[in-house]
Structure 1
Amino acid sequence: MLKHTFCHIPGVGTKTEKRLWNSGILDWNSPLGSFKLRKKAEGTFQSTIEESRRSFELRDPGYFGSTLPPKESWRLFSDFRDDVAYIDIETNGYVGPHGYITAISLYDGKRVRYYIKGENLDDFKEDIFDYKLLVTYNGKCFDIPFIESHMGIKLPHAHIDLRYTLRDLGFKGGLKGCEKLIGIDRGELKGVDGYFAVLLWRDYRRNKNPKALETLLAYNIQDVVNLEPLMIKAHNLKLMLTP
Structure 2
Amino acid sequence: MRIENSFIPVHGVGETTERRLWENGITHWEEFDGSVVGDTLADRIDAFIDDGWTHLDDGDVSPFAERLPASSRWRLYENVRQETCFLDIETTGLDASCNDVTTVSLHRGGDTKTFVQGRDLTANRLSRELEESALLVTFNGQRFDVPFLETCYDLEISVPHVDLLYPCKKLGLDGGLKAIEQEVGIERDHPDISGRDAVRLWHEYERGDESALETLVEYNRADTKNMQPLLDVVADRLHEAVFEAARQPE
Matched AA of 1:85:
C
Question: What is the aligned counterpart of 2:160 among 138, 144, 158?
Answer: 158
Aligned length: 240
Normalising by structure 1, what TM-score? Answer: 0.93
SS of 2:106's partner is strand
| Structure 1: gaps of 5 or more residues | none
Residues 109 and 228 in structure 1, CA contact (< 8 A), matched pair in contact too: no
- 1-structure distance, mates of 2:21, 2:62: 24
Cα distance in structure 1, aligned partners of 2:230 and 2:173: 11
Please report how far the alpha carbon of residue 33 of structure 1 lies from its aligned counterpart in structure 2 after TM superposition: 3.5
Judged with a 3 Å threshold, the aligned counterparts in structure 2 of structure 1 residues 81 and 187 are, in CA distance, closer, same or farther, namely closer
TM-score (structure 2 length as normaliser): 0.90
**CA offset at residue 183 of structure 1?**
1.9
| C-alpha distance 188-26 of structure 1, shift in aligned 2 (>3 A) | closer
Q: Give the SS at the match of 2:137.
A: strand
Residue 96 of structure 1 and its aligned partner are, at CA, apart by 3.9
Write the distance in 2 (CA, Å) between the matches of 1:166 and 1:217: 26
In structure 1, what is the Cα distance between the partners aligned to 2:5 and 2:77?
14
The amino acid of 1:30's aligned partner reads E
Q: Which runs of 5+ in 2 are unaligned?
A: none
Partner of 2:13: 12
User: Please, what is the CA RMSD of the aligned residues?
Assistant: 1.7
Q: How does 1:43-62 map to 2 (within 5 A)?
A: 44-62=44-62
C-alpha contact (below 8 Å) 1:11/1:38 kept by paired residues: no
Q: Distance in 2 between matches of 1:86 and 1:78?
A: 14
Percentage of pairs with the same residue? 32
Q: Is the 8 A contact 1:55 1:61 kept in 2?
A: yes
Structure 1 pair 209–236 and aligned structure 2 pair: CA distance change class (3 A): same
SS in 1 for 2:31: coil
Distance in 2, Cα, partners of 1:237 & 1:188:
27
Tell me which residue corresponds to 2:27: 26
The amino acid across from 2:197 in the alignment is F
1:189 aligns with 2:200: no
User: How far 1:32 moved relative to its partner?
Assistant: 3.7
Displacement of 1:97 in angstroms is 2.3
